Structure 1
């Protein structure tokens, strides 16, 4: 819907600063011509968006411009306050921060939107944890998280699905929790000794990590790496390999 796209464009410009029409078109999955029409629509609505032509130019908002809590729609408020299991955030150590952040948003909402928030919290609960959690204790989660946060390389000993052990130098780029199971996504160093996996980005199930040693060495995170995109493609390949289609 166009209204949703206009909101997304405003939030992108607000959080990321100046973006080109090409960048916005890619992010919003529309043509550049559509982006320019949307800019006209935002301007007509009173949002101070402007475009600068030429090299170094782009589309931006004034630095002081901020959307307000009362600009949120009812459906956006309801989406924010859907209740869900918080075990994943607790494991990351950010459960209390998440709850306090939602509380601050709630306090900033106009009265009419507080009703929407309470309404959805009383009616929908998303339990994203597995029915029978197989990873009740992830020994190396905090160390892996530190490696991701600080962009530090590490040495690990890993047990593959068939039980074989191997050592590797890894550069952790992200963490993924799927159905209560944690994975580290990391690029694999040359020490693995297998040329076909060198410098590849691979997922590692945390409960199969036998040891994990942080190194003092820092690495430059691959700027083009998109964690969500990588994970979706990997899951698609995994499912096509190990799950037979119905029919």
Structure 2
């Protein structure tokens, strides 16, 4: 473990430049005292790194020093090949670069790790979008990516869901996120999140911008998702579910069932489930048919009762109202 950690310290300093002992400790999930010992061990091994005291101090490698990529474990080599998703890379214009990088990495691996990496690539395939998601055109993704890489301001015409639908925006793109097969750009001022496929026009300006020093794309996206789900489920429904109905619930509803579900003597389960809106909940619970009994709220129960009454009349036994009939009275469609 120590040798692996020493290599991590070396690679962190090589890729990020100056880092304090506290920063290294957070990255490696060890104590600051352990970092001090690791730095001493690297010094003893002849690695040219030095530290500066003070507010702007920290450890860094001697200018020009580089280490070769060594010390990969089998799992790390497998993960590197598994993490290369060709579809998104091609959308960003990096398909050939990804293939070239993987080829070079494979050639640099020792034979035993190369075999394991090849096995991983041949047995696992990542396909991020869902089954029912259609391929969406993202013609302006390369331009947005270019602006992200080079910290350039974007002028875009953007289509949103509410009026006025088509608006002009000046964006400072901090980063790109691929979520469930869909690209999003997180951009300031704000920052706000925009769907890249809803960008109608995009112009990369020569104007540069500086992202906020404390901005962390992964942390921001995690907060964004938490806020989205908090705003999404604004109500609750008290329901009874028939045996087997639980397997048809997903996401927040499945988690709520696991947390609040109480078995009843007849085999059904009583639970409190989150709902987005009365309209959405009506569709969800109608899809469960007779396997659900909605006890509240009263407005939702009344809606389901009225819809069920209309459906019962519509599908009552007998020919459809507009159907022609044969001589024997049977329906002819």
On whether the aligned pair clears a TM of 0.5, the verdict is yes
Q: Considering Cα pairs closer than 8 Å and 6+ residues apart, tell me whether 1 or 2 has the greater RCO.
A: 1
Shift of 1:42: 4.8
1:89 and 1:186 map into 2 onto residues whose CA distance is 21
* TM-score normalised by structure 2 residue count: 0.62
Residues 65 and 163 (structure 1 numbering): CA distance in 2 closer, same or farther, change over 3 Å?
same
Structure 1, gaps ≥5 residues long: 188-198
- Give the 3-state SS of the residue equivalent to 1:38 in structure 2: helix
Shift of 1:57: 4.5
RMSD: 2.7
Q: Is the 8 A contact 1:144 1:172 kept in 2?
A: yes
Does residue 210 of structure 1 match 2:211?
no
Residues 49 and 144 (structure 1 numbering): CA distance in 2 closer, same or farther, change over 3 Å?
same
Shift of 1:53: 4.5
Shift of 1:47: 6.5
Shift of 1:93: 0.5
* TM-score normalised by structure 1 residue count: 0.80
2:18 and 2:205 map into 1 onto residues whose CA distance is 36
Residues 121 and 61 (structure 1 numbering): CA distance in 2 closer, same or farther, change over 3 Å?
same
Residues 50 and 160 (structure 1 numbering): CA distance in 2 closer, same or farther, change over 3 Å?
same
Structure 2, gaps ≥5 residues long: 234-251, 258-333
Residues 228 and 145 (structure 1 numbering): CA distance in 2 closer, same or farther, change over 3 Å?
same
User: After superposition, what is the alpha-carbon deviation per residue over 1:218-237, rounded to whole angstroms, capped at 9, x for unaligned?
Assistant: 32233322222211211121
Task: Single out whichever of 178-187 and 148-157 deviates more from structure 2.
Answer: 148-157
Q: Which has the larger radius of gyration?
A: 2
Shift of 1:85: 4.2
Aligned position for 2:16 = 16
Does residue 246 of structure 1 match 2:246?
no
Q: Is the 8 A contact 1:175 1:184 kept in 2?
A: yes
Q: Is the 8 A contact 1:22 1:32 kept in 2?
A: yes
